[in-house]
Structure 1
């Protein structure tokens, strides 16, 4: 099944509501842990804004978007996170894989894509943030070579985040 999945850049004419639903579904287990990630409750307008705020990608299976991730190039600072504001540091977010496809390698393929795209655009580091209580996600990212950088307390969430990064 994974071999039948096409990974491609997001197109502005792609429908937003299915991506929002995918995010809500993929983040539902985190919401059940009382972790209020933006993707657990965001509306379509926020989904669109977050997609268009970076370099978004989607994965399709049978003409349905089953995964998404957005690469955010270094913007010169102002994010509120000292590591994200460091020259050469790109980040990714709004990362989701449909729950029935998780654990089959698609997420890893998307992370590899983010690494390759960031490197091609001149990044020296690829970073992300996640809830410090999402131990399973932190372990997964560490297995992919990400390391702890710092803590961050975003005003839009109800948890303290860990900033993880990988040298490219």
Structure 2
């Protein structure tokens, strides 16, 4: 079973970018040009700025990833687009770049990665976590809905072949035993 851990400074962003390309290839085949489909390493680095990334590692190879960060400053662009108000709301963590290598699907890694991101956000004191995904990606939206996310709006990212939905999930405060 792959192990989950925080991304390290010594991890290769070239390898992480290749993982994202592999993980998002099936979405690209459906005509959805998610940024992670073909983003260069520089965009991977940019998307990880101010974020906590988690990776799944198996036999020394990165096979899964997710990033989570706090709200963006008002006026900051999001991959060249104006940032949706949800992503600048105080108390909001943002989940992004969730991907699992096709060779490792069906092992529950996606759920474990989301749990790691939500746990990190909760521990940092965030009260909700938000994300966006392709509106026509029914299976992805249903996956998030099963985890308690609900659609609260939409956005059309510049250059994307699809409209996106904005989804949010409240985070209960961390409890101490």
Task: Give the TM bin, normalised by the shorter chain.
Answer: over 0.9
1:55 alignment partner in structure 2: 52
- CA RMSD after TM alignment: 1.3
Q: Which residue does 2:20 correspond to in 1?
A: 23
Does residue 124 of structure 1 match 2:134?
no
Q: Tell me by how many angstroms 1:158 deviates.
A: 2.4
- Matched with 1:39 is 36
SS at match of 2:148: coil
Equivalence for 1:66: 63
Residues 85-117 of structure 1 show CA distances to partners (whole Å, capped at 9, x for unaligned) of 211111111111111222221111111111111
Moved more, 126-135 or 45-54: 45-54
TM-aligned CA deviation for residue 122 of structure 1? 1.3
Counterparts of 1:121 and 1:78, CA distance in 2? 23
Deviates more, 1:137-146 or 1:98-107: 98-107
Report how many residues are paired. Answer: 165
TM-score, scaled relative to structure 2: 0.88
Cα contact 1:31–1:37 (8 A) shared by 2: yes
Q: Take 1:164 and 1:51, find their aligned partners in 2: how far apart are those partners?
A: 20
Using the alignment, how far apart are the partners of 2:159 and 2:75 within structure 1? 16
CA contact (8 A) 1:76 1:87 kept: no
The answer as to 2:72 corresponding to 1:75 is yes
Q: Match for residue 91 of structure 2?
A: 88
Q: Gaps (5+ residues) in structure 2? A: 77-82, 172-177
Aligned mate of 1:100, from 99, 103, 112: 103
Secondary structure of the corresponding residue to residue 155 of structure 1? coil
